[in-house]
Amino acid sequence: MTYFIFCVHNHQPVGNFDHVVEDAYVTAYEPFLKMLHERPSLKLSFHTSGFLLDWLVEHHPEYLEMLKSMVERGQVEIMGGGYYEPILAVIPPRDRRGQILMMSERIERLFGTRPRGVWLAERVWDPTLPFCLRDAGIEYVVVDDFHFIKSGLKRDELFGYYVTEDLGRAVKVFPGSERLRYLIPFEPVERLAEYLEGVDRNGSKDGVAIFADDGEKFGIWPGTDKWVYDEGWLESFLSKIEELGDWLKPVTFSEYADGVEPLGRVYLPTTSYMEMGEWALPAEASFEYLTLREDIKSWKDGEGILRFFQGGTWRNFLSKYPEADWMHKRMLMVSERLASAEPRVDEEGDRVLEDARTHLYRAQCNDAYWHGVFGGLYLPHLRTRVYENLLRAEGLIGACDEKVCIRAVDMDADMHDEVIMSTDLINLFFSPRRGGSLVEIDWKPGAVNLSNTLSRWFEGYHMKLEKAGTAGSAGEARSIHDTVLVKEQGLERYLRFDTVRRASLRELFVGEDAGVEDHSASRFRDLGDFYDGAYDFAIEGDRLRFERSGTLCEQPFSVAKEVGFAGRDSFSVRYTLEGLGKDAPRHVAGIRLGVEFNLCLPGCEGPECRYEFTGSSVVKETGLGSIGELSDIAKVSMVDGFSSLRITFAVDRPVVLWRYPIETVSLSEAGFERNYQGSSLVFLIPVDTLLSGAGGFTLSVKIESV
């Protein structure tokens, strides 16, 4: 007898828009489950992530009732996992256990059964996971056959399950078939039957073929709604499985594990599925890896070589994207604070720290921390929700008792201190080593990180852009790993890249011929070495002072900036420049100091978001997606009507202001797309006026709810 395990994983990230989730429900989740419901002989191992589960409870309880009936008649086994779909390997062990138990308890309340196995988010395996899985009452987990092949096994040794352990705690590990992931639902059902017959012929007694992949491919991925439902692929698939019933038996993971012995013991390496290894590599290496992999496939003994061919690991995303690393370290910071907080109850008797823990767990949802062919990190609204939940958790844990808190700590584990300045309304996070820059500005009342920008990083797939077609032009259903589509023509015009992470309070020096177009396209020449240079810092009472002795036009020059709070909701920065001595007029003629801010409000560049200017310039377009240069500006505000927020910049003398949107070209399941990641503001003032008797320059920032 050959067995078949059909495992489907449905997931929506924390913070996704209601209309997007509703469309997924109508297009894929509901029609898929209804068709399975009508075929009670077909078994299903089923996982729904916690955020989506909560959404279904609120919006479509009838769906859960149908699913519960399938559980009660033994057709469906519900799988657990981390509640908000975290990458378990990169969150603290206490949070791993907490997320798994939270999910198990929720499933037991909804379906009357406690899960024995888990879906592992993005199949990111770490050898230390068995200990925490068993500690949370879990018996098995499903990963990819890729994991097993990297440990030295062959594909024909993977028609069963193995046992692995960590420190004596054992779990069963099942290998999902990579071949089935590409067959289902993208190829005719006849080819699926051929594969299953191959399992039957391989000689292993009680062998099992395992499909374990996303439910979104049954209707949401490009072209699949028509192919899977209108053209009858799913109907044909289910009929074929029933037709093969004389030798093929659909089972759940638990049924199979209860009736069949493991094939042996295995120790899996740190890895994920094959495609993740490509995406996690640095851009050029990613492109080269994919090119070489395709080349090896054509070699005479290519498959044998590919057994030992592996890309990067998931943690590479934390070095590839400094924004992802910062979010991750902010999450760890909140987790540590929560772990050391004293339990307390608020005035209404609620368990405050439990609410804080829920916000922390939501912030651990994996999607915003990485990027492959899904939007992920490139979607501002997902990053916004991570920071919102972290700040709400911090608010519940409690703030510093002092009016102003300043402390130095190595926030991002780079062996250099960052500096945190706080009032009860604002957090400011500075990186002295990276330009003395301001990397995070938090408005606590709105739980908003105003610095939630993403830099324009070069990606390996940008080399494919010239080959892309028009979105929707492909009429067939194809795996998103095989499609190259674009959502708008001419995207190559927006391929502009940054060399360092975008932050605020970075200083650049430009000539009078430099313009906003040059700066937005990264074509400008910086005449100084302060933009990303290391600054010395000193905490002086309730103020923070930065200073760097660098060069301007290759001559010794220094910049000092002193930061202090002007109120609970505002701060100011005082600049002092020194150097070049008596030759200053000659060296600085026409040179301007630019002070750069990069910000992203929750409403992005939407219709409720705008600039407001005070000065002599006449402005026609004030949207946050606009580009332009203005002179004699004394004050500028960024207003977000969506989140009722205003941030205002005021200068102590009129300046020239550059503004432009930060836009990226990224890949999603629907093709190449352009995304707004924030707005850049550069305040420009002639250097000679700062070296003369007038001296210095002060910029003030105020944040308020409107």
CA 678-682-687 angle, 5° bins: 165
For the question of residue 347 being annotated catalytic, the response is no
Dist. CA 520–CA 77, nearest whole Å: 53
Amino acid in the structure at residue 680: S
Mapping DSSP onto H, E and C, the string for 44-95 reads: EEEEECHHHHHHHHHHCHHHHHHHHHHHHCCCEEECECCCCCCCHHHCCHHH
Catalytic annotation, pick one of 30, 139, 214, 355:
214
Continuous segment of H or E residues that includes residue 181? helix 178-183
Q: Give mean pLDDT, residues 120-134.
A: 97
Q: Does pLDDT of 49 surpass 50?
A: yes
Q: What is the pLDDT of residues 550-586, one digit of tens each?
A: 999 999 999 999 999 999 999 999 999 998 766 666 7
Question: Taking residues 275-295, what's their average pLDDT?
Answer: 92
More confident residue, 534 or 582: 534
Active site residue 122: yes
CA 314 to CA 366: how far, in whole Å?
Answer: 11
Report the pLDDT value the prediction gives residue 619, as an integer from 0 to 100. Answer: 74
* Helix ranges, 298-438 (H): 302-306, 317-320, 322-340, 352-363, 380-397
What distances in angstroms separate CA 107 from CA 32, 77, 111, 121, 677, one per listed residue?
20, 11, 6, 17, 37
Question: Is the bond preceding residue 185 a cis peptide, omega within 30 degrees?
Answer: yes
Torsion angles phi and psi, residue 386, rounded to 5: -60, -50
Are 57 and 84 in contact by the 8 Å Cβ rule? The answer is no
Catalytic residue among 85, 95, 122, 669: 122
Lowest mean pLDDT: which of 235-244, 335-344, 461-470, 677-686?
Answer: 461-470
Q: Band of the pLDDT at 399, cuts 50, 70, 90?
A: low
Contact yes or no for 690/578 (Cβ under 8 A): no
Q: Please state, in angstroms and rounded to a whole number, the distance separating the CA atoms of residues 426 and 566.
A: 12
Average the pLDDT over 516-543 and give the result. 95
Whole-model pTM: value is: 0.94
Token digits of residue 595: 């002070």
- Please tell me the predicted confidence (pLDDT) of residue 477: 56
The pLDDT score that the predictor gives to residue 693 is: 59
- C-alpha 70, offset from chain centre: 34
Distance CA 63, CA 42 (A): 18
What is the secondary structure of 531-585 as a DSSP string? SS---EEEEETTEEEEEEEEEETTEEEEEEEEEEEEETTEEEEEEEEEE-GGGHH
Phi and psi at 234, nearest 5°, equal -65, -40
d(CA 521, CA 530): 20
Where do the domains of the chain lie, and which CATH numbers do they carry? 2-272 (3.20.110.20)
